[in-house]
Amino acid sequence: MSATRFAQDSPAMPSPRVTRRCPPQDNANAVADEAAGEHESDTPFVRTIFRMMMQRAVLMAIAVGLIHSLVFLGLGEPVWQATLIFTLACLPFHSLLSAQRPFGVFCASLFGFVCIIDAAVVYFALHFGREAGFHFLLISFFPFIAISGRIGYTMKWLLMLLHALLLVYLDKQISVQGMTTLSPYLISVLRAINLGVLACLLAGLVMHYFRIATGLQYELEQHASTDALTGLANRRRIQAATLEAASDSRRHGYPLSLLLFDLDHFKRINDSYGHASGDAVLRHIAQILQVELRSADRVGRWGGEEFLLLLPHTDLDSARLVAERIRQRVLNLPPLVGGKFLTLSATLGVATMLPAEPVEETLARADFALYEGKYAGRNRVVAAEATAPEQVPRH
């Protein structure tokens, strides 16, 4: 291991996008790719969020319907019964719009739900008149159209334009009073309620979308930075943690020690018991390492059967004791492999970052100490010399 190797393995900047000309025989594929660009927002991530948001929209529509039913009942308006019918008609769509439904069922259900909401808005706008502001509730469709998948940007703009035209048409064409006998004051109360409902709907949609998006983003980041086999940090993540720990160590003036752990004769385990057993052994080692470390420590799979451990606030002597305790635990806690307990051993290299020393050199010294231990017979802990490994001859 060398500092160069660490630098080469560090996360690289993404390369710039290169535009290639398609050869003549690929013209059909090029046309298909260009058409697909219209649907570049259609990804599994977008579809998942959209279905979750539509289910929340059903719940919001039901809540708004119940609120209006109670308001109309209190005002003595007989339309509270129609409102309740619209509300009950929305109930099945919460299940029909779930992520488990086939795409055909989802599309048909989505169309039906939108038709019910549009019909309800138009009905109440005509009944109560322009001043009641029911037609303003059509604005709540815009966020859902914007985040929908499976349709391109052109179709999204078209759908939003159609709803905007319907909103303008209702605002200009319906009468001021409508068919209701409510006083202008009560109509103004209805308008205030509708505007308040619209504001709450938009705020709730934005907050819920943000919550879903950040939650899914966190899951994606966890998948991208976690070793799938052991559940520990993968190499990329532990590299970033190493650089961060080194920076904190220099800033606050506390010692930082690195441990490189290598499971002895791991290839023999794979050859003798199979790769499934080897995977089980690596998971067993990961559990031991997690148990032995403090909450401030970090551990990640460095590659193969190697693990890297970061011990902040730990000098060389303390780090050596931690490494020896881990070695003893591995030796004394054999996993059950192939119906019998398999005795394991490990070799660990320990190094503490020196003042003004790049952490890459600290890691190189820990790696050299690890190889020293392997050449000396394995199953031991070796502390690194306070010199660069290039100055110490290898055995």
Whole-number Å distance between alpha carbons of 268 and 270? 5
State phi, psi for 228 to the nearest 5 degrees: -65, -30
pLDDT at 386 over 80: no
Whole-number Å distance between alpha carbons of 320 and 315? 9
Query: pLDDT: is 107 or 319 the higher one?
Result: 319
One-letter identity of residue 88 = L
Give, for 208, the enclosing helix (H) or strand (E). Answer: helix 184-225
Q: For 179-221, what is each residue's pLDDT tens digit?
A: 877 888 888 888 898 899 889 888 888 887 788 778 877 777 7
In the predicted model, what is the mean pLDDT of residues 260-276? 93
Residue 172 burial (C-beta neighbours within 10 Å; 0-12, 13-18, 19+) = exposed
Whole-number Å distance between alpha carbons of 84 and 290? 56
Contact 170, 122 (CB under 8 A): yes
Instruction: Tokens for 392, please give them.
Output: 């110490």
Task: Report DSSP state, residue 343.
Answer: -
| C-alpha dist (Å) from residue 289 to 69, 124, 279, 385 | 60, 65, 15, 24
One-letter identity of residue 348 = L
| Strand bridging mode 336-337 / 340-341 | antiparallel
Helix count (H) and strand count (E) of the chain?
14, 7
Position 357 scores a pLDDT of 93
Position 52 scores a pLDDT of 84
Contact 252, 23 (CB under 8 A): no
pLDDT at 4 over 70: no
In the predicted model, what is the mean pLDDT of residues 325-329? 96
Query: How far is C-alpha 378 from the geometric centre of its chain's CA atoms?
Result: 41
pLDDT at 26 over 90: no
Whole-number Å distance between alpha carbons of 386 and 352? 8
Q: For 295-304, what is each residue's pLDDT tens digit?
A: 999 999 999 9
Contact 258, 366 (CB under 8 A): yes
pLDDT at 37 over 60: no
Average pLDDT, the chain: 84
Q: For 133-183, what is each residue's pLDDT tens digit?
A: 888 988 888 888 887 877 778 888 898 898 889 888 888 888 777 787 788
- Contacts with 56 (C-beta within 8 Å, 6 or more apart), sequence order: 204, 205, 208
pLDDT at 327 over 80: yes
State phi, psi for 337 to the nearest 5 degrees: -130, 125
Map residue 178 onto helix, strand or coil. coil
In the predicted model, what is the mean pLDDT of residues 345-356? 95
Position 78 scores a pLDDT of 87
Q: Which range is most confident: 50-59, 83-92, 342-351?
A: 342-351
Residue 140: closest CA among 114, 119, 175, 158: 114
Map residue 187 onto helix, strand or coil. helix
**353 pLDDT band (50/70/90 cuts)?**
very high
Position 372 scores a pLDDT of 95
pLDDT at 39 over 80: no
| % of the chain with per-residue pLDDT over 70 | 87
Q: For 98-145, what is each residue's pLDDT tens digit?
A: 888 898 898 899 999 989 998 998 888 888 888 888 889 888 888 888
Position 14 scores a pLDDT of 40
Distance between start and end Cα atoms, the chain: 15
pLDDT at 8 over 80: no
Whole-number Å distance between alpha carbons of 97 and 5? 50
Query: What is this structure's pTM?
Result: 0.56
pLDDT at 222 over 90: no
